[in-house]
Structure 1
């Protein structure tokens, strides 16, 4: 197999910045380093790319849908197509297909569909089960009639249906049965994430959650007499925190506060996107509920934010714009932290032996090309 070589690019490997670099790859990264260290090999296909920036492919661990599709539809072809469009249009080379609170039968259908879709499209590396084990007090856009207490048997059933692909679960740790539920998660490689939760700081100190779903949103707020879910996530160094950096779910000042408090190695950018992402504005749907999209915001009829239409390159640029952080920091929050937290051994870095998942930007940080397992793709608007 002939190797491809990109030369004279600025490379952010996830460990260092290489100002005038090269990367040699097939479906895996073979070599990376300064151009001065490149030694041509027979069959190499060399491309000169000056004034370009290369970063690891993005990892979105919280995305429900986009481009007219949703993981809850349960259609394997559509879910695989959705993942492909997120990759080609946004540089999301690793996706956790995300479900939501719905009937047991609908979640069954979604889990079975994601399993088949993941077998078709390896961009899908896991499932994020968001609900139904959440608090009605902070249900957000999740339909209340399907909310239930944590249930190990149901979780085990859904994990089996997905082909043991559940990697992340959003739940309310204050609810009855949470301790046994957490024990199951930890023994099966599932990260327990507090979200859509009314838990107090005291309750969370006794929980085993190490992740918080969309920090600030749909959770007991930070207050001067009760830190709540948000305060707990800020205070605990082991907690990874998701941020939806669209400027609507969280105002820029609060994004900056989270960045300064948590630090670059504990924040993960997510889109929390729904099916209207990449589609014209107007009426859409989320979990059987009408959603109205206008001015880059998705809301229920009562005004509740209902997921987002955020595209990952915008989140990548916004975190720098809102916090003043560097490209290297944005890479950490877009790829590296996710790979580290979820044990995605071949993802998140541009280093020898890793999958050749990379995003090529121009100097103005416009996404130009995505490489998924070494194959080049351009946006399919």
Structure 2
């Protein structure tokens, strides 16, 4: 059987824009370039996609759940299904299954579940441990009774249970034991991310955090006498910033401020989605807490935002709408930056030798098809 070829698309490869291009692939990309360079080969399955746009598959490094499922449930079949639905309906071709502050046993159970799901579904490329090593002051929707100081031994145990899949951890760098904890992360390929934290700028200048979890949300705020977590993330070039672009977690003007300050090379779009994404409105659950979903917002009974129901394709549209950024810049923030930060060397760019993970969009940026490792899928 020959390779698949998509012709006459506008292609954003992640490092260039090809106005009238082609991409040839099986499980990996074989060639990409202007359409006049395409040389027909026997067995090629050619499709004319004129008027459509091809972008790299999206990479979501912070998503708890969706479609009725949650990584914390620890059920491998459900986590596998959840990842596949995110791919089909949102264009997410690489996922870091995200946990939350819970009991040690529940987190261990989730690690085993994600490991088993990842063995079956290669979309799952990592784990984002959000907590439990956070600040109770900025707990957000994380249950306070399970919060603890950074613990290297526990992290090592969970990382082992996951099969070494922990790639990102949200923690409070101001807490006792953070320095040794950060050293363990760096020695084991885990990116330390400040989040749910009351750290001051001075404390952060002495930390090894290089990433900020959901910028602006659940962190010491940006003030004129204390830049806090938000100000530090804005000021430091080595800090990558997650943005939840649903319009509720951050108002559009503040998204524009972050974009203007950080630039498209240091922002990563995330959904921070929970199990209610893709489901009807009503009552749901997050970490054993009741959540109420209404008007595209998920909140605890006291009104605290409890993750999102944001679909990645909408984050991709919204960042362009809120900031006026180009499609090229949106591709950086949805794929390229994540692949670079987390050393996902076969992801992020559309280039020969990379995985054939790509999204086909119409003029309204609606998802027409997703190719994951070269296999075509459509929204359900």
Under a length normalisation based on structure 1, what TM-score does the superposition of the two structures give?
1.00
Correspondences of 1:19-38 after superposition (within 5 Å): 19-38=19-38
Runs ≥4 residues deviating over 6 A: none
Task: Name the structure 1 match of 2:303.
Answer: 303
Q: Deviations over 1:183-215 (max 9, x none)?
A: 000000000000000000000000000000000
Task: Name the structure 2 match of 1:93.
Answer: 93
Matched, 1:202 2:199: no
Task: Name the structure 2 match of 1:151.
Answer: 151
In the alignment, structure 2 segments of 5+ residues that lack a partner are none
Task: Name the structure 2 match of 1:54.
Answer: 54
Equivalents in 1 of 2:367, 2:328: separation in Å?
16
Task: Name the structure 2 match of 1:111.
Answer: 111
Structure 1 residue 363: deviation in Å? 1.1
Task: Name the structure 1 match of 2:65.
Answer: 65
Matched, 1:228 2:228: yes
Equivalents in 1 of 2:202, 2:289: separation in Å?
34
Considering only aligned residues, what root-mean-square deviation do their CA atoms show, in Å? 0.4
Correspondences of 1:235-314 after superposition (within 5 Å): 235-314=235-314
Matched, 1:133 2:133: yes
Structure 1 residue 348: deviation in Å? 0.6
Tell me the secondary structure at the aligned position of residue 133 of structure 2: coil
Task: Name the structure 2 match of 1:183.
Answer: 183
Structure 1 residue 70: deviation in Å? 0.1
Task: Name the structure 2 match of 1:76.
Answer: 76
Task: Name the structure 2 match of 1:17.
Answer: 17
Q: Deviations over 1:221-245 (max 9, x none)?
A: 0000000000000000010000000
In the alignment, structure 1 segments of 5+ residues that lack a partner are none
Tell me the secondary structure at the aligned position of residue 334 of structure 2: helix
Q: Deviations over 1:5-26 (max 9, x none)?
A: 0000000000000000000000
Tell me the secondary structure at the aligned position of residue 127 of structure 1: strand
Equivalents in 2 of 1:359, 1:171: separation in Å?
33
Equivalents in 2 of 1:201, 1:41: separation in Å?
58
Tell me the secondary structure at the aligned position of residue 259 of structure 2: helix
Equivalents in 2 of 1:378, 1:101: separation in Å?
34
Task: Name the structure 2 match of 1:331.
Answer: 331
Tell me the secondary structure at the aligned position of residue 126 of structure 1: strand
Report the count of equivalent residues: 380
Tell me the secondary structure at the aligned position of residue 233 of structure 1: helix
Under a length normalisation based on structure 2, what TM-score does the superposition of the two structures give?
1.00
Task: Name the structure 1 match of 2:357.
Answer: 357
Tell me the secondary structure at the aligned position of residue 2 of structure 2: coil
Matched, 1:322 2:322: yes
Structure 1 residue 364: deviation in Å? 1.3
Structure 1 residue 165: deviation in Å? 0.2
Structure 1 residue 2: deviation in Å? 1.3
Task: Name the structure 2 match of 1:45.
Answer: 45
